Amino acid sequence: MRLSRFGLLGLACCLSVGVASAGNFSFTGTFTHDDQLEIFLFTAPSASFVARTWSYAGGTNANSQLIGAGGFDPVLSVFDATGGLVASSALQGANNDGAGVATDPTTLSAFDSLLAISALNAGHTYALVLSEFDNWNAGLTFGSFFSQAGQGNFTATEFPCGGTAFCDSNLAQRTGNWAVDIDGVRTAIDTATVSPEPASMLLLAAGITSLALWRRRRNSV
């Protein structure tokens, strides 16, 4: 889990917002293990936004890119990351299997996620977290962490399909591929592809230290 950059990137995202109008943003990538998280930061120009995945059943994303079917069963969660994604960042909503998403041609299951929220605060920064079922957030804050954190390729045991990773509840072998759209937002970034500016490294170091101390105290209780 890449936790160290999020406070810095949340601040950078807020500072770089400007007055751009709402738009749609498309991202694609590949997980290398089941308990991985992909985290996107976005700013909300209004109370509403929509996020969805295309990678389980495939389809055409907001960038008019044709996405092939076959990816893992995704889960989407949103946290308020205004001022940085920290342990106390509150969960705003989550979705596993979205109503009305496409059916996968192989498993005949509709496991893509579709998450719509209409109670955001305009101008705030939020974090959209992509995980694999059933790696759910374990509570109401980001600091609750996720149910399968540290379990590596947990699906090979939980949903044995004969493979080493990316099995689903149909006992079907899937891939680590994912595709996510974030619609109706002012700006959005994938934190895995953004490098901090050198002048911001002190802020990054402070964030790493604070999170490490918090986790140490939490584990000692």
CATH of the domain at 160: 2.60.120.380
How does residue 209 score in pLDDT terms, banded at 50, 70 and 90? very low
Look at residue 20 in the predicted model and tell me its pLDDT. Answer: 52
Cα 194 to its chain centre, rounded Å, is 15
How does residue 9 score in pLDDT terms, banded at 50, 70 and 90? very low
The CB density around residue 32, as the number of other CB atoms within 10 Å, is: 9
Query: Is residue 117 in a domain?
Result: yes
Domain count, the chain: 1
Q: Cβ neighbours of residue 60 under 8 Å, at least 6 residues apart?
A: 54, 66, 67
Query: Is residue 187 in a domain?
Result: yes
Q: Is the pLDDT score of 162 beyond 60?
A: yes
What's the whole-number mean pLDDT along residues 164-177?
98
Range of the domain at 76: 6-220
* pTM of structure: 0.81
What's the whole-number mean pLDDT along residues 187-202?
66
Look at residue 216 in the predicted model and tell me its pLDDT. Answer: 47
Look at residue 5 in the predicted model and tell me its pLDDT. Answer: 44
What's the whole-number mean pLDDT along residues 175-192?
96
Q: Are 85 and 143 in contact (CB under 8 A)?
A: no
Question: Which residues are paired to 51 by β-bridges?
Answer: 115, 182
Q: Tally the residues of the chain.
A: 221
Supply the DSSP symbol for 123.
Answer: T
How does residue 195 score in pLDDT terms, banded at 50, 70 and 90? low
How does residue 95 score in pLDDT terms, banded at 50, 70 and 90? very high
Tokens 């957030």 sit on residue: 137
Q: Is the pLDDT score of 184 beyond 50?
A: yes
For 106, left (φ over 0), alpha (ψ -120 to 50), or beta? alpha
Look at residue 21 in the predicted model and tell me its pLDDT. Answer: 75
Supply the DSSP symbol for 150.
Answer: T
Q: Is the pLDDT score of 133 beyond 70?
A: yes
CA angle in degrees (0–180, nearest 5) for 5-218-139: 75
For residue 199, CA distances in Å to 2, 129, 202, 207 come to 21, 27, 7, 14
What digits encode the pLDDT tens for the residues 64-90?
999 999 999 999 999 999 999 999 999
**20-29, 97-106, 156-165: least confident range:** 20-29
How does residue 138 score in pLDDT terms, banded at 50, 70 and 90? confident
CA angle in degrees (0–180, nearest 5) for 112-190-154: 50
Q: Is the pLDDT score of 53 beyond 80?
A: yes
**19-33, 98-112, 174-188, 206-220: least confident range:** 206-220
CA angle in degrees (0–180, nearest 5) for 50-51-56: 140
Query: Is residue 1 in a domain?
Result: no
Query: Is residue 95 in a domain?
Result: yes
Comparing 198 with 173, the larger pLDDT belongs to 173
**How many angstroms separate the CA atoms of 186 and 179, rounded?**
19
